Amino acid sequence: MQPIGTWTQNSVAPIFNALDMKAAIESVREPLHIVRRGPGGLLGIALGGTISTVAQAHGESHEWMGTVPRIYPEWLGDRTFLSAHGVRFPYIVGEMATGIATAEMVVAAAQAGMLGFFGSAGLGLEVTDQAITEIESRLPDGTPWGANLIHSPAEPEMEMAIVELFLRRGVRLVSASAFMGITPAVVRYALSGVRLDPDTGAVQRTNHVFAKISRVEVARPFLMPAPQSILDALVAQGYLTHDEARLGEHIPIAGDITAEADSGGHTDNRPLTVLLPTILALRDEICASQGYSSPVRVGASGGLGVPSAVAAAFALGAAFVMTGSVNQSALEAGTSPEVKRVLAQTGMADVMMAPAADMFELGVKVQVLKRGTLFGARAQMLYDIYIKHDDLESLPPKLRSSLEKDIFRESLDLTWKRTRQYWMNRNPDEVARAEREPKHRMALCFRAYLGEASRWARFGDPERKLDYQIWCGPAMGAFNAWVKGTYLETPENRTVAQIGLNLLEGAAVVTRVQQLRTHALDLVPETFDFRPRPLA
């Protein structure tokens, strides 16, 4: 290696001992010079000083081999993500369902310069409306934030109703999750208010869809313009104008895609290093074929519990990162202290897949915590029973008795009575179908347990501790291992802002360490280990 000039010391001496380099490397907001102690000498690093392209032989001078530029956590992702959504950091606090991602969490994320999504999935319209009011009352006008639009295959009317609420209340960003295809509701939201910019002629969006996907066949339609059949139907129903539908033929439904790897809740358990490059390649292919004026941004989620994982996501090309499971242990999370305590003790392998309440009959699963709860095993048993039997009446007496004693803690007749009343209030068509189809009645009863299990966890019902349904991915275990022995080990210190800021700061450090390695610097493993600390 030939030097490119000379570095001359001012007040701070260069560091040649690999064990002493850690603090200097973590000063990511300062350029870091790579220096050599004479021809063929030892490589080291230096902060400050004076560099020159002219060789000098006086003073405290060393050969200048290169400079690693300053890194800001704000710079790790796609700059257009920051400008498009008006945030400081390429970081999203994800929409944990049933209000676990609370209004308070969304506000805290926004105040820290991050983007937060309210966990509206599974909540009623009135509760979601109240949360929107709370968020708006606590944030200045124009502060970016969003909410969740979850796919409801059995209740398309509910999906459309939440879109109507978002449009009426001016919610400008949604994270569309668990979709298996394009629905009229998501198209209506995406294209309501689109218009041409009078200066540039480009199509301008009023609303922004972040499509959370884990499969190519789901990502593709979100990357494409809306199907003509859906556009025509929405125009006929008065949900879109002719101009909005016409402009919708030239832009993708989603301006941002979140590639969701192995995560808590609905997940396909995809490895991020396989999923993200695949979706990026698909994005490039479709954007080129469609001739979009602006490429769709692709971010990463799932498995992001430590700085090195966040750095890896950005190195793979992620425009932004979204965290989920790790925020469930934060102070602002809308779940019980008991759940937060258990999550803070969770290991990487303390998770399992279990049937999902909202898509039970389709066989869809969610990833949940198995530590300290029997929910996963019991939910799977209910699904197995559903597959093998046609109705509740055909269950063997011993099995029925076991279900009533250990899981439902009441007779199945009473369970159906309560479940029937719930659906009469929410969607009477489900009751009518259940009374025609005994197997569907059985499914609704079993789904009642699954749904209640998440509520028991959120509110910390002590009588139902063994039935807690806690959505969680392996990132939670990785996070706990990382923060062990630091101030973030204690749940009382875990705020959503401190979790995010430490992950981002650490990712910047890890990125710098990798840059130094590519310059042939001999580094010790400890330099990759950024330890959490209170960050402003």
Can you give the CATH number for the domain in which 298 is found?
3.20.20.70
CA distance 450 to 435: 21
Q: Are residues 244 and 271 in the same domain?
A: yes
- 309, 335, 361 — which closes off a domain? 335
Q: Are residues 114 and 162 in the same domain?
A: yes
pLDDT in tens, 358-395: 889 989 999 999 999 999 999 999 999 999 999 999 99
Q: DSSP letter at 268?
A: -
Residue 503 maps to a domain: no
Q: Are residues 304 and 347 in the same domain?
A: no
Residue 358 has a pLDDT of: 85
Residue 83 maps to a domain: no
Q: Are residues 453 and 370 in the same domain?
A: yes
What is the largest distance, in Å, between two alpha-carbon atoms of the chain?
A: 94
CA distance 124 to 152: 13
In angstroms, the Cα distances linking 528 to 23, 25, 149, 504 are: 11, 10, 37, 14
Of 324, 312, 334, 344, which is closest to residue 93 (Cα–Cα)?
Answer: 324
Please check whether residue 185 is in contact with residue 159, taking contact to mean a CB–CB distance below 8 angstroms: yes
CA distance 27 to 508: 10
**265 strand-pairing partners:** 367
Q: Average the pLDDT over 310-318 and give the result.
A: 98
Of 242, 204, 241, 210, which is closest to residue 223 (Cα–Cα)?
Answer: 210
For residue 373, count other CB atoms closer than 10 A to its CB. 23
pLDDT in tens, 178-222: 999 999 999 999 999 999 988 888 899 999 999 999 999 999 999
Q: DSSP letter at 11?
A: S
- 301, 319, 335 — which closes off a domain? 335
Residue 528 maps to a domain: no
Residue 488 maps to a domain: no
pLDDT in tens, 62-84: 999 999 999 999 999 999 999 99
In angstroms, the Cα distances linking 400 to 11, 391, 397 are: 79, 11, 5
**Is residue 59's pLDDT more than 70?**
no
Percent of residues, the chain, with pLDDT higher than 70: 99
Residue 100 maps to a domain: yes
Q: Are residues 182 and 115 in the same domain?
A: yes
Q: Are residues 132 and 164 in the same domain?
A: yes
pLDDT in tens, 381-434: 999 999 999 999 999 999 999 999 999 999 999 999 999 999 999 889 999 999
pLDDT in tens, 149-162: 999 888 899 999 99
Q: Are residues 181 and 252 in the same domain?
A: yes
CA distance 7 to 326: 43
Average model confidence (pLDDT) across the chain: 95
Q: The tokens of 190 are what?
A: 């995406």
Residues in the chain: 536
CA distance 337 to 320: 30
The amino acid present at 226, given as its one-letter code, is A
Please check whether residue 256 is in contact with residue 211, taking contact to mean a CB–CB distance below 8 angstroms: yes
Q: How confident is the model at residue 56 (pLDDT cuts 50, 70, 90)?
A: low
Residue 516 maps to a domain: no
Beta 195-196 vs 203-204: how paired, if at all?
Answer: antiparallel
Q: Going by C-beta distance under 8 Å and a sequence separation of 6 or more, which residues neighbour residue 396?
A: none
For residue 228, count other CB atoms closer than 10 A to its CB. 11
Of 67, 71, 48, 59, which is closest to residue 5 (Cα–Cα)?
Answer: 67
Q: Are residues 176 and 298 in the same domain?
A: yes
The amino acid present at 513, given as its one-letter code, is V
CA distance 261 to 220: 17
Tell me the three state secondary structure of residue 208: strand
Range of the domain at 389: 341-467
CA distance 368 to 376: 7
Q: The tokens of 456 are what?
A: 């028991």
Residue 225 maps to a domain: yes
**Is residue 54's pLDDT more than 80?**
no
The upper half-sphere exposure of residue 113, i.e. CA atoms within 13 Å in the direction of its Cβ, equals: 12
Q: Are residues 324 and 373 in the same domain?
A: no
Q: Are residues 308 and 443 in the same domain?
A: no
Q: Are residues 293 and 368 in the same domain?
A: no
Q: The tokens of 285 are what?
A: 């292919």
Residue 153 has a pLDDT of: 84
Percent of residues, the chain, with pLDDT higher than 90: 88
Q: Give the chain's domain count.
A: 3
**Is residue 61's pLDDT more than 90?**
no
Residue 57 has a pLDDT of: 56
For residue 118, count other CB atoms closer than 10 A to its CB. 28
Q: Are residues 266 and 380 in the same domain?
A: no
Give, in degrees to the nearest 5, the angle at Cα 37 between 35 and 43.
50
Q: Average the pLDDT over 105-128 and give the result.
A: 96
Give, in degrees to the nearest 5, the angle at Cα 358 between 338 and 147.
70
Q: Going by C-beta distance under 8 Å and a sequence separation of 6 or more, which residues neighbour residue 146?
A: 95, 115, 116, 117, 118, 171, 172, 173, 174, 175, 208, 210
Q: The tokens of 320 are what?
A: 């932004």
In angstroms, the Cα distances linking 288 to 201, 291, 322 are: 19, 5, 26
**Is residue 244's pLDDT more than 70?**
yes
Give, in degrees to the nearest 5, the angle at Cα 233 between 232 and 239.
100
Residue 25 maps to a domain: yes
Phi, psi of 63 (to 5 degrees): -65, 135
Please check whether residue 280 is in contact with residue 273, taking contact to mean a CB–CB distance below 8 angstroms: no
Residue 58 has a pLDDT of: 59
pTM score: 0.94
Q: How confident is the model at residue 11 (pLDDT cuts 50, 70, 90)?
A: confident
- 335, 358, 373 — which closes off a domain? 335
For residue 492, count other CB atoms closer than 10 A to its CB. 10
Of 181, 153, 163, 177, which is closest to residue 237 (Cα–Cα)?
Answer: 163
